[in-house]
A and B are shown apart, each in its own frame.
Chain A
Amino acid sequence: MKKIIEVAKYEYTHHVAKRRFWIALLGIPVGMLAIMGLSILFSFMSFDLEPVGYVDQANLIVQEQQVPENLGFFDIFIKLIPYTDEAAARADTENGTLQGYFVIPSSYLSTYSINYFSNKQPAGDVTNQINQLLRDNLLFQENIPNLDRIMSGSQISLESLDGSQTSDGTNWHNIIVPAVIGIIYFALVMTCGGFLLQSLVEEKQNRTMEIMITSMTPDNLMIGKIIGNLAVGFTQILVWALILVIGAVIFRDKLTFLSTLDLSAGYLAISIGLLVLAFIVAAGLMAIIGATMSTMEEAQSINGLMVVPLMLPFYFFNSFMTGPNGTLPRILSYFPLSAPFSLSLRMAFTTVPAWEIIMVFAILIVSVVLVFWLSGKAFRRGLLEYNKKIKLRDLFVKEANHG
């Protein structure tokens, strides 16, 4: 056990102490934030948020524009200012106080046309807002009971024919948890799995492996490496989570939907359990690849294939939304490498029977055992074959003779 911890410690400090780890760690969220920030900045820059005036010659506006409560981060609000005098509105447009002004002519109720005066094109939302203002005022004068409720529309509940799937139509953001699980899993496999693969191939190329496996058993060596790299991965997740939490705290007023997230402890525990087990399976596969390949280039080309099962649930996202208990989502959630995102996603859209969840966990545990058994063989068989790669078949056939 002591040696397993020593290996894990070495693997952890070896990667975490490297500058490239921190560059990748902080670079990814900073890069993503920078891209998001720039795109938001450019969109805002393309909006003219200066107020717009209106002159109501038809005397239709009795209720002025309401400033919406809980204005979302991405909601655009342009203030509409009433003017009694067109000349004043024109003067304010000329001196830049207004971006332009509407004139609602006295003939509006017969023509339904209004004029906009400006040297600029009206921003997209300005026309929506003046139309909204007119519509609200015209309806207000009709004295329709429950007008507010009618205007805010119906609350639609969705239910599948067998009653297993229910939704109030507003829980789209429940996919945030599976999406986060999926992204974390993908990032873990790609970075930490990559580190593991790299460390094995490097040890093989450096010939350090022979020293290592004459100090401890290959199985313990691999367990130590997986734990170490898993810890590197969790450090990565922790830092990213910290960045997300700080971001969420700073922008808490704008991210109101987060409070409606369905974050039951059981759901989170299942998702995290799937994530850890699937990562161990992926890491074990990486170890087999690392042990059987003789150069990093070969290992990376095979490793590239690992991406496919990880990406499948993303490709078939629509199938999960439209039929989370359909054949494809089910198969993907039974397959160890695609299980974390797939099952978590299904659970977000529907109620997955308990037996299925237990079965997925059983498949993952069996896979962990199988992958460990196979990678132990790959270590013995492949690690000292410096100059040639080992075929998967060899692991079963030749070692089985005297295993």
Chain B
Amino acid sequence: MNTIVVNHIAKSFGDMQAVKDVSFTVRPGEIFGLLGPNGSGKTTSIRVILDIYQPEKGTVTILDGPMTEEKLNHIGYLPEERGLYQDVEVYRNLAYLATLKNMTKEEIDQKLPAWLERFDLTEHQKKKTKELSKGMQQKAQLIAALIHDPEIIIIDEPFSALDPVNTQLVKDLLIELRNEGRTIIMCTHQMNQVEQLCDRLVLIDHGTVLLEGGLKEVRERFATNQVLIQTDSDLPENLPGVAKIEKEGLYHRLTSSDGTTPHAILQQLIDNKIGLNSFEIATPTLDEIFIKVVQEGRNGHEEDN
């Protein structure tokens, strides 16, 4: 059973079509990346999933059925626009939001101090939210999203405003939550974080899906016929099975001829007695895939128009 199934949803505001046709599935116990450039329809899609907006077309199935008020208690949400009461003390703020997730006072008094401790906010719990730094507010907001042990966690840009130490803290936490079997949907522009954390992803732009799949599968799908090598030897001008050799800083990028495997190229290099410091298959980074797919999608979009 999939945790969330988004099936051809569409949502517009007046003349603006925020989401045209988005479908994807989120499986239990995975970190799922919801990616896309600014204004691509990510936030609207999340709001449709959360039943804030009613879609004009399509359906959303969450935990095997439509959204209910009871199911909201099992969802933790960190919205893109952070929101805590600015004039209220941190502890009271978080305790109130936790009661709205059906937690009892006893549960809150038991769990909240531990969360504050984990995020290094214990000494700030009596302060008003507006007195905290942006990073601290972000951590407090994360507590609001997680304190009720949600089954599904939806987090929009969880690392914004965090320093490297806190970024690592949140990353470790997300991995820990996944290992506990929670399902996490993460929206972010930070592709390195997606590469490190996500199991699967969907890339949307202009309200339509451009790409969906497992992280490994996506990278393999965009793998090129190139290898990167680092060597102190001079490379011969012609190597059998290599169509092109380009110098890139310390590296040489070797483009193989059709049908030549990276293994065959490695054999050629050894046969030619070329000393190798490193040899790697040049798979594109997620950043490169993101830019490529979005640009291709936009070119197609312009042609359609």
- Chain A residues with a Cβ under 8 A of chain B: 2-3, 6-7, 10, 14, 202-203, 206-217, 220, 380, 384, 386, 394, 398, 401-403
Instruction: Using A206-B83, A211-B79, A220-B69 as known contacts, list a sample of 6 further A-B pairs with CB atoms less than 8 Å apart, ordered by residue number in A.
Output: A209-B83, A211-B83, A214-B50, A214-B77, A380-B52, A380-B53
Smallest CB gap from A18: residue in B: B87
**Interface residue SS majority, chain A:** helix
Q: Are B52 and A211 in contact (CB under 8 A)?
A: no
**Interface residue SS majority, chain B:** loop
Q: A2-B102, A215-B72 are in contact. Are A207 and B96 (CB under 8 A)?
A: no
5 A-B pairs with least C-beta separation:
A207-B83, A215-B100, A208-B83, A207-B81, A210-B79
Q: A216-B69, A384-B52 are in contact. Are A210 and B101 (CB under 8 A)?
A: no
Residues of A within 8 A of B99 (CB): 3, 6
Q: A214-B52, A380-B53 are in contact. Are A10 and B84 (CB under 8 A)?
A: no
- Chain B residues with a Cβ under 8 A of chain A: 13-14, 47, 50, 52-56, 69, 72-73, 75, 77, 79, 81-86, 88, 96-97, 99-102, 144
Q: Tell me, in angstroms, the Cα distance from A208 to B83 when the chains sit together.
A: 4
Residues of B within 8 A of A203 (CB): 83, 85
What number of A-B contacts does a CB cutoff of 8 Å give?
A: 68
Q: Are B75 and A214 in contact (CB under 8 A)?
A: yes
Q: Tell me, in angstroms, the Cα distance from A220 to B50 when the chains sit together.
A: 16
Q: Are A6 and B52 in contact (CB under 8 A)?
A: no
- Of A14, A210, A217, A220, the residue contacting B83 (CB under 8 A) is A210
Smallest CB gap from A204: residue in B: B83
Q: Tell me, in angstroms, the Cα distance from A209 to B100 when the chains sit together.
A: 12
Q: Are B84 and A206 in contact (CB under 8 A)?
A: yes
Q: Are A386 and B52 in contact (CB under 8 A)?
A: no
Residues of A within 8 A of B14 (CB): 394, 398
Measured CB to CB, the closest approach of chain B to A357, in angstroms, equals 38
Q: A215-B97, A217-B69 are in contact. Are A403 and B52 (CB under 8 A)?
A: no
Smallest CB gap from B51: residue in A: A214
Smallest CB gap from B87: residue in A: A202
Smallest CB gap from B95: residue in A: A10
Residues of A within 8 A of B100 (CB): 3, 6-7, 212, 215-216
Measured CB to CB, the closest approach of chain B to A168, in angstroms, equals 56
Residues of A within 8 A of B55 (CB): 402
Q: Tell me, in angstroms, the Cα distance from A208 to B81 when the chains sit together.
A: 9
Q: Are B77 and A211 in contact (CB under 8 A)?
A: yes
Residues of A within 8 A of B75 (CB): 214
Q: Are A402 and B54 in contact (CB under 8 A)?
A: yes
Q: Are A211 and B97 in contact (CB under 8 A)?
A: yes
Q: Tell me, in angstroms, the Cα distance from A203 to B101 when the chains sit together.
A: 18
Residues of A within 8 A of B47 (CB): 384
- Of B52, B86, B101, the residue contacting A206 (CB under 8 A) is B86
Q: Are A6 and B79 in contact (CB under 8 A)?
A: no
Q: Tell me, in angstroms, the Cα distance from A217 to B52 when the chains sit together.
A: 9
Measured CB to CB, the closest approach of chain B to A373, in angstroms, equals 15
Measured CB to CB, the closest approach of chain B to A295, in angstroms, equals 15
Q: Tell me, in angstroms, the Cα distance from A394 to B12 when the chains sit together.
A: 13
Measured CB to CB, the closest approach of chain A to B83, in angstroms, equals 3
CB<8 Å pairs between A and B, sample of 22: A6-B96, A7-B100, A10-B96, A202-B85, A203-B83, A207-B83, A210-B52, A210-B79, A211-B77, A211-B83, A211-B144, A212-B100, A214-B52, A214-B72, A215-B72, A215-B73, A215-B97, A215-B101, A380-B53, A380-B54, A394-B14, A401-B56
Q: Tell me, in angstroms, the Cα distance from A202 to B83 when the chains sit together.
A: 10
Smallest CB gap from A383: residue in B: B52
Residues of A within 8 A of B102 (CB): 2-3
